[in-house]
Chains A and B, each alone.
Chain A
């Protein structure tokens, strides 16, 4: 049976082309455009894998991520985080201060805090971070790996 993949991002382009790519590769894509809708779709559709954008309205990607991880149904469901500028930071535990990313310094700081919090709470880290711009074929490859296919 085809597996369901939920893509939550406020960029409709991304939701659309990832859906096309996933469908093309035999998955059932579900789209959502903010954190709130994302959670509603997750509960309704019970997906096998999540794509979450880090920065989006009505519940950030991380808030939604924690909600997902804390739920019995999704404890072991793979989650891929989509990030704008912060992939390298999010993957490292301590990133050096880089002048070129000053305006996102605050965001980096809050990300770091979230990651620390998640560790303390024993929440398992997201399975993968993918930095935008996203190559749809690469992404499908990663989905396959995570779903063990």
Chain B
């Protein structure tokens, strides 16, 4: 209507105006008025006007208005999503051209829309079918999308959550705020462990990765969160830790039992000899038996002291110690014993090894322990012809003075992989008479306390090498991290 009335009227007015001008110009108008009555002229004029309007209306409607209206209708349909709408292309005039151009445009639009839809469906499918929780939130914190994984984990239908503030699903608002603070600084918060609340009020542990979404101008348009339920995994890990601790306690107790049995054995045997000595009035036998008991008591006392130092909190007294000098001192201590036992000892100390900031007493006993283990290992081995027991000690700095390494290598009995795996466990011992099973446990703890490391390489019947590496500058505070065994030992 908007188009038809003005065009039809305008065209009609122009046509009439021209008709009147032509009639007036040729004097026909006066002649007409003169020849006929005025009423007749007026009636004629009305008839002409009516005819003209009808003709123009017919022409505009037929030639202009209807095609334009159809085009507009087509646009509207397309705009409303009727992507399959096309014009008939039978006209050969301008409107025919227009219709074909329209159809081409619609074709292109349809194919790109289909592509967009397929892509969207594809990604939505991924998001939707993911077992992980995937949620998007607008910049004001209201939930925008909520996938099936989220529904399943949290027990909500998506309509219960979409449009609501995301705080609804957080068990701890403090954690949510912390995450948002972190997000502000980096736009990305990976593996944030948090607690989400299900519809039934249950708390789930979720590993959440948050990413801030930005539009092409860099303006934040929301937050994308993807989370994995780690409740069961965490529980399993806690159980594992618990059982590891339990195993460590078990290990310690089994070792302790072994050490105690050996001491009790000596006491029982000694007591028998004392009894027999008294009965037979055999004083040397009595004394020998008593000595056996006394030694066992001494061993028990030593083990108790060791146990106490193992479980005690250690406070090392740090001073600068010349490790080279300490090793030479220890070498002097061992040389005679080794000669007696037929073990050859070689010591090599790198020039200019720096001093080490450490607790002199602790480090001294750690090195002594490792060397005496090496001697024991040599004693245990049945050397084939041509091979003789040998121990080599090497002191050097593996990294230009930052740390010092003391390596003790023997060609003794070596260890099986099973023994090697337990070598630092408290109370673990393979020595039936000597071991309290605490030596290497204490040594390893000493080294860790100094911020260092203790390494061991060993092959059964080939020998072992223990390496202590300590930082020259002394321990970094809180370097000693409690592990299962440590905790068990203290606990």
Contacts and interface: CB of A to CB of B under 8 A. Distances in A.
Interface of A: 9-14, 16-18, 20-21, 24, 34-36, 53, 55-59, 84-85, 99-107, 132-137
Contacts of A104: 254, 258
A13 B298 CA distance: 14
Contact of A101 (B254, B267, B296): B254
Top 9 closest A-B pairs, CB basis? A106-B418, A17-B269, A57-B380, A58-B382, A133-B265, A133-B264, A13-B266, A99-B250, A100-B250
Given A102-B250, A135-B268, A12 B433 contact: yes
Contacts of B416: 106
B144 interface: no
Contacts of A21: 272, 276
Contacts of B430: 55
29 contacts: A10-B432, A11-B262, A11-B432, A13-B266, A13-B269, A13-B433, A14-B265, A14-B269, A36-B382, A53-B432, A57-B382, A57-B413, A85-B257, A99-B246, A99-B250, A101-B254, A103-B422, A103-B425, A103-B427, A104-B258, A106-B416, A132-B261, A132-B262, A133-B267, A134-B268, A134-B269, A135-B268, A136-B272, A137-B272
A100 B267 CA distance: 25
Contacts of B418: 105-107
Contacts of A24: 276
B257 A17 contact: no
B292 A13 contact: yes
A84 B262 contact: yes
Interface in B228-268: 246-247, 250-251, 253-255, 257-258, 261-262, 264-268
B428 interface: yes
B254 to A, nearest CB: 5
B270 A13 contact: yes
Contacts of B432: 9-11, 53, 55-56, 84
Given A100-B254, A133-B265, A17 B428 contact: no
Contact of A20 (B253, B285, B380): B285
B168 interface: no
B276 A133 contact: no
A59 B268 CA distance: 27
Contacts of B427: 103
A57 B428 contact: no
Contacts of A36: 382
A107 B416 CA distance: 10
Given A55-B430, A106-B422, A132-B264, 14 more contacts: A11-B262, A11-B432, A11-B433, A16-B288, A18-B269, A20-B273, A85-B254, A103-B427, A104-B258, A107-B418, A133-B262, A133-B268, A134-B265, A135-B268
Nearest to B280: A24
Contacts of A100: 250, 253-254
A107 B432 CA distance: 14
Contact of B247 (A20, A55, A102, A107): A102
Nearest to A13: B266
A126 B289 CA distance: 30
A21 B258 CA distance: 24
A140 B273 CA distance: 14
Given A11-B433, A99-B250, A58 B268 contact: no
B381 interface: yes
B379 interface: yes
Given A58-B382, A132-B262, A17 B272 contact: yes
A135 B272 CA distance: 8
A25 to B, nearest CB: 11
B161 to A, nearest CB: 46
A12 B265 CA distance: 11
A137 B253 CA distance: 29
